[in-house]
Amino acid sequence: MDIALLGVGHLGEAVLAGLIDSGLPPAQIWATALPAERAARLADAYGVEVGTDNPSAVAEADVVIIAVPPVAVGPLLSAIGPSLAPEAVVVSLAAGVPLARLAERLPPGTTAVRAMTNIAARARRAATALAAAEGTDLTEIEDLFDRIGVTVIADESMMDLITAVAGSGPAFLYYLADSMTNAAVDGGMDPVDARVLIDQMLLGACLHLQDSDEPPAALLERIATPGGTTEAALASLDESNVDEAIRAAVAAAAERGGELPGA
């Protein structure tokens, strides 16, 4: 399978790094990035063809992955349309750009897929959701994204919410990591020790969560020794309405998905 990856920015580079790390032969990937200096740097770093010309990059591709900003998706699809292979599958990673918008810009015979993934693609731990028109065979695309993490098939109506929790989701955890690190350092902890301990705490807690069949709330209770430190922390979080704040943040992200200029 030959893959074109168009617009290698923050997310595109994470996907590229993850795919290469998964053993996908670099010769199977044609990428584009702007400006030309960035394209050259990426080509050196990953050993793949990286240019700036999107129509050339897609000419041989079976699968075209679009990782440009939402506002750039429409013009990009119009530019590559005439160069696409007759049965190419075009996968857009852009937040908020509906399948219908993708399909109307693509030539007949090509397949549009909307995907939402995240920055953990770099570590091959991405959470990806795929949506496509009913009856679309997504097996090959699912296999491709399984290389960089876990993939589910979703109804398109869920994609803005999925964008909030899976696409933007890592930022919620980095926010938590930043707040905890600042609290630790402000309290006198060595910054390097704080980073090591908080990184490992998050990693260990997430692995435990993933391994467990129990809901997060049950795992949380097991840490909270009656009358102990965790209870004090949880009471403080409740007093500050943190649950409500997180729900509001998810809702704000999902709502923005529907308002993005490429939508």
Ligand X SMILES: NC(=O)C1=CN([C@@H]2O[C@H](COP(=O)(O)OP(=O)(O)OC[C@H]3O[C@@H](n4cnc5c(N)ncnc54)[C@H](OP(=O)(O)O)[C@@H]3O)[C@@H](O)[C@H]2O)C=CC1
Which residues form the interface with ligand X (CB under 6 A)?
6-7, 9-12, 32-35, 54, 67-70, 72, 76, 93-95, 116-119, 167
Q: Which does 68 bind (CB under 5 to 8 A by kind): ligand X, ligand A1CAB, none?
A: ligand X
In the block, tokens 């595109």 appear at 12
Q: How far apart are CA 18 and CA 23, in angstroms?
A: 9
For the chain, the farthest-separated pair of C-alpha atoms sits apart, in whole angstroms, at: 67
Binding mask 162-181 for ligand A1CAB (x = CB under 6 A): -x---xx-------------
- Give me the DSSP letters along 183-246: HHHHTT--HHHHHHHHHHHHHHHHHHHHH-SS-HHHHHHHH--TTSHHHHHHHHHHHTTHHHHH
Q: Which does 126 bind (CB under 5 to 8 A by kind): ligand A1CAB, ligand X, none?
A: none
Estimate the crossing angle of helix 36-46 against helix 10-21, to 10 degrees: 20
Q: Which residues contact 206 (CB under 8 A, 6 or more apart)?
A: none
Of 110 and 163, nearer to ligand A1CAB (C-beta) is: 163
Q: How far is the CB of 93 from ligand A1CAB (least distance, A)?
A: 9
Of 61 and 76, nearer to ligand A1CAB (C-beta) is: 76
Nearest residue relative to ligand X (C-beta): 9
Of 165 and 197, nearer to ligand X (C-beta) is: 165
Q: How far is the CB of 192 from ligand X (least distance, A)?
A: 26
> Dihedral angle at the C-alpha atoms of 187, 190, 195, 198, nearest 10 degrees?
-50
Nearest residue relative to ligand A1CAB (C-beta): 167
Residue from 15, 18, 52 nearest 33 by CA: 52
Based on the shown chain and the rule CB under 6 A, indicate whether residue 128 belongs to the binding site for ligand A1CAB: no
Q: How far apart are CA 12 and CA 38, in angstroms?
A: 12
Q: How far is the CB of 13 from ligand X (least distance, A)?
A: 8
Q: How far apart are CA 46 and CA 181, in angstroms?
A: 32
Q: How far is the CB of 54 from ligand A1CAB (least distance, A)?
A: 21
Structure tokens at 93: 């990673």
Q: Which does 110 bind (CB under 5 to 8 A by kind): ligand A1CAB, ligand X, none?
A: none
Of 146 and 231, nearer to ligand X (C-beta) is: 146
Based on the shown chain and the rule CB under 6 A, indicate whether residue 24 belongs to the binding site for ligand A1CAB: no
Angle at the Cα of 189 from the Cα atoms of 184 and 192, rounded to 5 degrees: 95
Based on the shown chain and the rule CB under 6 A, indicate whether residue 95 belongs to the binding site for ligand A1CAB: yes
Window of 105-113, 151-159, 161-169, 198-206 that interacts with ligand A1CAB by CB under 6 A: 161-169
Side chain identity at residue 227, one-letter code: G
Contact residues: ligand A1CAB, CB under 6 A: 95, 163, 167-168
